[in-house]
Amino acid sequence: MFRPRPDAPGATIAVEVEGQTVMVPQGASAAAAVLLAGLAAIRETAISGSGRAPYCMMGVCFDCLAEIDGVPNRQSCMVPARTGMRIRRRRGARAIDPNNAPDDSPSFPIPEPRSGGA
Amino acid sequence: MRQFDAIVIGGGLVGAAIGYGLARAGLATAMIDEGDLAFRASRGNFGLVWVQSKGLGAPHYQRWTRLSAEEWPDLAKELGERTGIAVGLEQPGGLQLCLGEEELQKRQGMMEQMRREAGNFGFEYRMLDRRELAEILPGLGRAVAGASWTPYDGHANSLNLLHALHKAFVEKGGAYLPNRTVTEAKAAPHDFRLELGGETIAAPKIVLAAGLGNAKLAPLFGLSAPVWPQRGQILVTERTSRIWPLPLGSLRQTQEGTIMLGSSEEDVGFDTSQKPEIMRNIARRAVLSFPWIAELQIVRAWAALRVMPPDGLPIYDESEEFPGAFTANCHSGVTLAGAHANAFAPMVAAGALDPTMAPFSAKRFDVPAAA
């Protein structure tokens, strides 16, 4: 469905999108790699599980959220593609288990709370 | 010229709640809204229906807020039935977390003062220590010393609320007039005319609910609304599984799983830009409260301007010079939506504010400071 513009520089960067190797030009975003891979969706929404693919390509619509190099829910249109990058489908809401989270309480000082109370 | 029974200037949460209440009471009502250049606090708020911290030293504000929280379920149900929009109200009570012993002691003192000031009206609260908290809040940070709890607090989807109020207003026959600016206003008792860039509308009643715009509008109607813009910033995480059973003041998880992080107060004029130092402090307090939050992606962040009266308490007033003119000003358009639709609007429809509203008059700012 998508192809690089004729004036785009050569596709020199190899990224992996859901197990598929995709070549993209220098400066392309991870979302561009998703589109070039021809996937119908790169995430399933947190509530209804419906499929979503990159749409606005400018950081506004949040439909391109994907797992990139193990980090879930990154805005792939805002992340430049790098050689060896692994882009995976994001399925539903982020699962976290606070009960089993490492208790590495941060050591920075406590910032002032919002003052007042009216 | 179009003639109405009432005009509401402002289509945010305050104006829309009052406008809906007036239309529902059978008044032919026009609601004037600005364009996208307006500051629109109603599109940037946190979504709390928050009671426990409201009205320290001003018990009338605590009572008004409690009345609103009590009206909220009816309003939410009614809006859902009329518009099909679920405003996502949950009122399971709320916890305000305290980081460190000093905050906890201060909070306890404040809550006890609230209880004393409430008198016979009552104010139910409880302080929880960190052991009790850890049982209901998994992954609690070591910095959390405790929390205050009241049964009155809750939260809602404030964008859906705004949408539902607008939809219900129009369905009740209200005339929504967006992208309008008042270019000229003529006031006489029970006779108000507005020029909206070429079109004229008139009504015997008018309600100023234009947020920060009220400061300039009020004097045209013999009223005073010296509100100033207080900036607040918000960070928003990716959606996660539902973790907290109740809202936590400056932290809350939406029904969809998003975690919202607040809150801050800055006096920087009409500036809605974000400041890294403030964002860092918000993030740090959140991570000190729950270290696992550091693992979550921040997907959005924004700043918005609260509509802040000089003493932080709402201003509700009616004009003595031009009877029929009213004003409503507050920084809690979500929390007070129940009171605005179900208590304030009926007063306007009846023609006068209830005497119990007198402490909210802007006349309180005219009193010379005691020597």
Contacts of B58 in chain A (CB under 8 A): 118
B142 and A105 within 8 Å at the Cβ level: the answer is yes
- Per-residue pLDDT tens over the stretch B154-212: 999 999 999 999 999 999 999 999 999 999 999 999 999 999 999 999 999 999 999 99
| A103: contact with B, CB 8 A cutoff | yes
Q: Mind telling me how many Å the CA of B307 is from chain A's nearest CA?
A: 12
Residue A117: what pLDDT?
38
Residue pair A80/A29 in contact (Cβ under 8 Å)? The answer is yes
- Structural domain contains residue B370: no
Q: In whole angstroms, how far apart are CA B191 and each of A18, B201, B210, B361?
A: 67, 11, 19, 22
Q: Say what percent of chain A tops pLDDT 90.
A: 64
- Percent helix, strand, coil in chain B, to 5, is 35, 25, 35
Q: Is A113 in Cβ contact with B299 (below 8 Å)?
A: no
pLDDT digits (tens, 9 = 90+) for B71-130: 999 999 999 999 999 999 999 999 999 999 999 999 999 999 999 999 999 999 999 999
The domain of B302 spans: 94-152+228-308
Full residue range of the structural domain in which residue A32 is found = 11-93
ipTM of the complex: 0.84
| Whether residue B148 sits in one domain with residue B170 | no
- The total number of structural domains that make up chain A: 1
Judged against a pLDDT cut of 60, whether residue A118 lies above it is answered with no
pLDDT tens profile B335-365: 999 999 999 999 999 999 999 999 999 999 9
Establish if B164 belongs to a structural domain: yes
Say if CB A106 and CB A35 are below 8 A apart: no
Tell which of B242, B292, B330 to mutate to test the A interface (max A CBs under 10 Å).
B292
Same structural domain for residues B321 and B302?
Answer: no
Tell whether A116 is covered by a domain.
no
> Is A57 among the domain residues?
yes
User: Are residues B77 and B91 in contact, defined by beta-carbon separation less than 8 angstroms?
Assistant: no
Same domain, B68 and B117: no
Assess whether B257 and B273 both reside in one domain. Answer: yes
Q: Are residues B256 and B319 in the same domain?
A: no
In a domain, B179, yes or no: yes
Give A96's pLDDT tier (boundaries 50, 70, 90).
Answer: confident
- A39 touches B at CB < 8 Å: no
pLDDT at res. A115: 47
Is the domain of B250 the same as that of B270? yes
Q: Same domain for B148 and B232?
A: yes
Same domain, B107 and B56: no
The reported pLDDT for the residue numbered A80 is 98
pLDDT of residue B370: 59
DSSP characters for B16-71? HHHHHHHHHTT--EEEE---TTS--GGGS---EE--TTTTTT-HHHHHHHHHHHHH
For residue B239, the chain A residues in CB contact (below 8 A) are 46-47, 73, 93-94
- Please name the residue ranges forming H helices in chain B: 13-24, 59-83, 100-118, 130-136, 158-171, 214-217, 276-289, 337-339, 345-350
The answer to the question of residue B199 being in a domain is yes
The answer to whether the CB atoms of B241 and A99 lie below 8 A apart is no
What's the confidence (pLDDT) of residue B257?
95
Residues of A in contact with B141 (CB under 8 A): 105-106
CATH of the domain at B357: 3.50.50.60
Which stretch of DSSP H or E encloses residue B203?
Answer: strand B200-203
% of chain B exceeding 90 in pLDDT: 95
Structural contact between residues B164 and B18, judged by C-beta atoms closer than 8 angstroms: no
**Measuring CA to CA, how many Å separate A101 from each of B75, B246, B261?**
40, 20, 19
Identify the domain boundary among B288, B308, B328.
B308
C-alpha gyration radius of chain B:
21
| DSSP string for B96-143 | EEEEHHHHHHHHHHHHHHHHHHHGGG----EEEEHHHHHHHSTT--TT
Phi, psi values for residue B105, rounded to 5°: -60, -45
For chain B, the average pLDDT equals 96
Strand partners, B32: B9, B177
Total of domains in chain B: 2
Instruction: Judge whether B262 lies within some domain.
Output: yes
A10 touches chain B (CB under 8 A): no
- Residues of B within 8 A of A95 (CB-CB) are 240-241
Cβ contact A73–B292 (<8 Å): no
Residue B253 lies in a domain: yes
Query: Which pLDDT score is estimated for B369?
Result: 61
* B12 & B100 share domain: no
CATH number of the domain residue A43 falls in? 3.10.20.440
Please give the mean pLDDT across all residues of chain A.
89
Strand partners, B233: B303
Residue A1 falls within a domain, yes or no?
no
How does pLDDT run across A49-78, given as a tens digit for each residue?
Answer: 999 999 999 999 999 999 999 999 999 999
DSSP tag of B368: P
Give yes or no for residue A116 having a pLDDT over 70: no
